C-alpha cells in the first residue's frame, strides 16, 4: 500500500498530515528517507522521526453514552468525560461527538478511514435520534423542519422527522439527519417552539444501539457490525481516496 495510507492505518495521522510527514522528510523505509509517495511492502521497516511504526489491530466499540458526560478524553474545566467510564485501549477515539445533554449511541475506533466515511458530509451517512419535545408537534411544523429551518446563522440541514407519539404536553419524534452540526437539532426544535426535553441517538450509519446495552456500558462491535462498516467503507472508497 502507499506510504500515506500506511501511516493513516498505523494511526499516525490524517491523510493530509501523513502527506506532510513524508514531504518534511520525517519518514524512512528500511533506513532510507522517503520524499515521495512510494509503496510499503511486507517486511519493510517504517519509521517516523526514528521510531518504528506498524499496523495496528482495528478496534470498534459501541458505547451507550449517558447524559452529563462530554465526548473528550479530558476537560480543563473538570467536567466528567466518557473516558471516566471507558476502560479500553488508549488509542481509540470517538467518532464525532454527542453533547453533554445527549445520550445514546457513540462509536469509538482507531480506524481513521471508517471514521472519515461516517463523519464527512459528502458521504451523507444517516444519524437517527429519538427525542421528547415539548408540546404537540403539528404536521405543518414537521414539513417545515423537513425542508430546513432558517436560524440566525443560516438554514439547518434537512431533517426527516416522524412523530411517534404526541399529547398536549409532549411529542416523541424520530429524527434522521445526515450532518452533525453542533446542537443543530436542539436549536431547530427550540426555534419552532418545541424545545427538546431529551435527545438520544439510536443509530449511526449501519450501526444501531443495542437495546440490551445499559446506559454507561460499552462493548466491542460484533462481526456482522464490523462487516457492515467495512462494506460502507468499500462503497465509498473512491470518494475516500480523493477526500481533502
Which pLDDT score is estimated for 17? Answer: 78
Which pLDDT score is estimated for 242? Answer: 53
State the pTM of this model: 0.79
Strand partners, 48: 27, 51
Report, as residue numbers or ranges, the catalytic residues. 99
Q: How far is CA 106 from CA 118, 128, 205, in A?
A: 12, 12, 12
| Backbone CA torsion sign across 110, 114, 116, 119 | negative
Looking at the chain, the whole-number percentage of residues with pLDDT higher than 70 is 94
Q: Which residue has the cell 435520534?
A: 129
Query: Is 16 in a helix, a strand, or coil?
Result: helix
Strand partners, 16: none
Which pLDDT score is estimated for 47? Answer: 92
161-192 per-position pLDDT tens digit: 999 999 889 999 999 998 877 888 998 999 89
DSSP per-residue codes, 115-177: HHHHH-GGG---EEEEEEEESPPPHHHHHHHHH--EETTEEPPP-EEEEEEE-SSEEEEEEEE
Q: What domains sit in the chain, N to C, each tagged with a CATH number?
A: 3-53 (3.10.290.10), 60-122+206-242 (3.30.70.580), 126-204 (3.30.70.1560)
Residue 230: what are its φ and ψ, rounded to 5°?
A: -65, -40
35-92 per-position pLDDT tens digit: 887 889 888 899 999 998 887 788 999 999 999 999 988 888 989 999 999 988 667 8
Which pLDDT score is estimated for 98? Answer: 94
Do 7 and 56 meet the contact criterion of CB atoms below 8 Å apart? no
Amino acid at each position: 500500500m502507499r506510504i500515506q495510507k500506511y501511516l493513516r492505518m498505523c494511526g499516525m495521522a490524517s491523510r493530509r498530515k501523513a502527506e506532510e510527514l513524508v514531504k518534511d522528510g520525517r519518514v524512512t523505509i528500511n533506513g532510507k528517507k522517503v520524499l515521495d509517495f512510494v509503496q510499503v511492502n511486507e517486511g519493510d521497516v517504517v519509521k517516523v522521526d526514528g521510531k518504528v511504526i506498524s499496523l495496528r489491530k482495528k478496534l470498534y466499540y459501541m458505547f451507550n453514552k449517558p447524559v452529563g458526560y462530554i465526548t473528550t478524553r479530558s476537560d480543563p474545566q473538570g467536567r466528567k468525560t466518557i473516558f471516566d467510564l471507558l476502560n479500553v485501549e488508549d488509542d481509540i477515539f470517538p467518532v464525532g461527538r454527542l453533547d453533554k445533554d445527549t445520550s445514546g449511541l457513540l462509536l469509538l475506533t482507531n480506524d481513521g478511514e471508517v471514521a472519515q466515511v461516517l463523519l464527512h458530509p459528502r458521504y451523507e451517512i444517516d444519524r437517527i435520534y429519538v427525542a421528547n419535545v415539548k408540546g404537540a408537534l403539528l404536521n405543518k411544523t414537521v414539513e417545515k423542519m423537513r425542508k430546513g429551518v432558517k436560524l440566525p446563522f443560516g438554514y439547518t440541514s434537512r431533517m426527516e422527522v416522524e412523530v411517534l407519539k404526541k399529547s398536549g404536553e409532549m411529542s416523541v419524534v424520530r429524527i434522521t439527519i445526515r450532518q452533525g452540526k453542533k446542537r443543530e437539532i436542539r436549536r431547530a426544535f427550540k426555534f419552532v417552539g418545541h424545545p427538546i426535553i431529551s435527545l438520544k441517538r439510536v443509530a449511526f450509519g449501519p450501526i444501531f444501539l443495542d437495546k440490551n446495552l445499559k446506559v454507561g456500558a460499552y462493548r466491542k462491535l460484533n462481526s456482522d457490525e464490523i462487516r457492515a462498516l467495512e462494506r460502507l467503507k468499500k462503497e465509498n472508497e473512491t470518494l475516500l481516496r480523493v477526500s481533502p
